[in-house]
Structure 1
């Protein structure tokens, strides 16, 4: 696997695309800020949401059991999956039981995490992602690069060319309305012919046994209304205790994600339609392990809004695919190492630790602090690259010896003042390509303080 830095380097080779990607995500972040500033009690909402999640995670087993009992009362069939493989087998068995071979699916990061599409396709089943962004990347045979805007890395010209090849649209067409209508017509027959509909779950209410699905396009509703079989796949962390808590999170979710007051569709599913069947698959897949890590359990509060990605200077300029994980960006960098520390040991270092991710998180996850804690664990476990490890050893020696530290500071000040610019700013020094070092002072603060202390 290429490390994040290597893949990021490949992404930024196209400087125009990098700038466009950066600006697009910052535009969404700016919309989030405007939406948040329009709610006087925004910070109180964040605190309340955080406290509700804290309470829920501390009583997760009780609320999951209560949810199961209530859902069964409603006539819903509930399944439990320990990991991705069991989740896929359960979904497959449900589809087999109902003789379903044509499936329409609305956006679900959990099914992406479990590799459900690929699994079902290996069983000769047709799976069509119906949300526009998801359908685009499915046609392009790529994973999503963002958990809310999965095709944010693609320009309309690329989508136009893709649709021309796959959907026979006019060559060179780039008008978003035209391309969206083409996708709509393309998907219509899939909805009408579907044997089953699969959706993700944004929230599950223990009090009612119902699940809530938040979308902007309505394709989850279209699928579940038309297909005789509906399957909802949810992680164990999606539980909320009571229906009255839902309003807190729906006010935060869309504003944090896209700057909208709310998603266009907030759909509640409590029981199957007449003549139909409803199944809920509750999935662990490493979540209880994360719950048992005191330093990282807060990451399970995540409501998958993507705000931390939209604000992260690293994500914005490296692209989601550089993380090589289902959930990219800052939140993915604290979730994914818990699954495979060695494979994803580079992700916690894909951060400036500026704290902007924590500042915008609607449930107040201490993301940047958890990234720092993962770095410590990675170093202790011996997963640092040799060059990074040796540089840290050398830095530790310098910083722990006052004499060495003074000498290093004096040398650095001399170098930045007197060395010819080409020796510092050249093609080999990528850092200096778009940055300028500040003018070096003639003396250190310690020297200045020693000289001026007696005068004061």
Structure 2
């Protein structure tokens, strides 16, 4: 299913589409207020961008330094080339410790690797403890946003889900009541867990430590109570020095949710007494993206979601329409690297307005990369045949000014006399489904200029 086809299902409910748009724009406005309060914001963005550029250019060196320092701290380090290896490593750690009950905080990497269904298939109970993640886990849906995974659901929807799965009263939709219900529901799982899994926001090569940023404290509670802590990170999460961390923590929360900082910025360096600490470092296509000069900068992403909150296409089409772990603009430049054919429509799910690049805290040129992916998709004939042939025909017309002018005159005459039912036919002209076509002008600008230039 193409992005446009999947988006049709979301936009069919006009009220929900409008609400989703407004909810995300509210977060974007919060981000702007926080940014305006930091005079050195652009200097921070530039510094973060350069730190990431440097880290990516010396990735092997810093990953090996991180491994040495982490091992010196008593941490067990594992390497995974792909999702399958990652999943098997996590399962092997759990089996070695006879762990059958895993509590898990938010981790987009494990979503990318489809860890949950793999572990469940192998007899492990997996409980997502982030509130949004737990909500969508109950109804077996993927996250629709990397920071706010259940943003597509209203409080009434959550009330219905909790009524069905947690036994709350029908119609209960008070956020405070629902949150307290979730806390009570999750408490027993925290206590009974044999192991806890977290993501990694930043890994510091200099110290061998890593940082997890959350707003609910669920990651801290899980890894504190459980005897085994497994942290999973993509290779791009590395930063060189501890002194660099402050740059990113100042950028992350402001860009993501319009906060000064996340409620919990937790540092992990070594296992506590009697606990095991494992770190699984994953490639899963990142090296291939690093080797693409036009797209390597996408690996600078710190997963704040700001590009989604500002994107007019994402806000109105919903995250599930992208059919990829990371939706929105940044997902649209990561996904073709994974499967060009499957995700060939995503780089076209953009107006190329550049707002995503403007808000990116690490200055990824997202809209430029979207444009470049379009060129590759065209060259590899991965776009639909109708579009490919149409663009070829249009290119020939645009290359011949006289032919273009003649066809323009003919089109204006035809459009002026065309029946409304034909000009607004959704199959022939999808552009006009939600728009009124302007009245055809009597002459083109070229004709007007030729008449009035003298």
Correspondences of 1:225-374 after superposition (within 5 Å) = 225-374=224-373
- The aligned counterpart of 2:21 is 22
- The aligned counterpart of 1:123 is 122
Q: Which is further off, 227-236 or 347-356?
A: 347-356
Question: Shift in Å at residue 40 of structure 1?
Answer: 1.0
Correspondences of 1:137-216 after superposition (within 5 Å) = 137-216=136-215
**1 CA distance for matches of 2:239 and 2:381?**
39
**1 CA distance for matches of 2:7 and 2:331?**
16
**2 CA distance for matches of 1:421 and 1:27?**
37
TM-score by length of 1: 0.97
**1 CA distance for matches of 2:97 and 2:232?**
17
- The aligned counterpart of 2:448 is 448
**2 CA distance for matches of 1:430 and 1:344?**
21
- The aligned counterpart of 2:96 is 97
Question: Shift in Å at residue 444 of structure 1?
Answer: 2.4
**2 CA distance for matches of 1:52 and 1:440?**
52
Partner secondary structure for residue 32 of structure 1: helix
List alignment gaps of at least 5 residues for structure 2.
none
**2 CA distance for matches of 1:333 and 1:396?**
25
**1 CA distance for matches of 2:335 and 2:120?**
25
Partner secondary structure for residue 99 of structure 1: coil
User: Could you say if the C-alpha distance between residues 181 and 77 of structure 1 is closer, same or farther in structure 2, counting changes exceeding 3 Å?
Assistant: same
Q: Which is further off, 343-352 or 206-215?
A: 343-352
**2 CA distance for matches of 1:433 and 1:86?**
46
Question: Shift in Å at residue 412 of structure 1?
Answer: 3.6
**2 CA distance for matches of 1:412 and 1:354?**
28
Question: Shift in Å at residue 425 of structure 1?
Answer: 4.0
User: Could you say if the C-alpha distance between residues 355 and 415 of structure 1 is closer, same or farther in structure 2, counting changes exceeding 3 Å?
Assistant: farther
Q: Which is further off, 286-295 or 388-397?
A: 388-397
- The aligned counterpart of 2:431 is 431
Question: Shift in Å at residue 97 of structure 1?
Answer: 1.3
**2 CA distance for matches of 1:201 and 1:178?**
30
Aligned length: 453
User: Could you say if the C-alpha distance between residues 427 and 337 of structure 1 is closer, same or farther in structure 2, counting changes exceeding 3 Å?
Assistant: closer
Question: Shift in Å at residue 440 of structure 1?
Answer: 4.3
Q: CA RMSD in A?
A: 1.4
**1 CA distance for matches of 2:326 and 2:372?**
19
TM-score by length of 2: 0.97
- The aligned counterpart of 1:400 is 399
**1 CA distance for matches of 2:237 and 2:437?**
46
Question: Shift in Å at residue 420 of structure 1?
Answer: 5.2
**2 CA distance for matches of 1:76 and 1:393?**
57
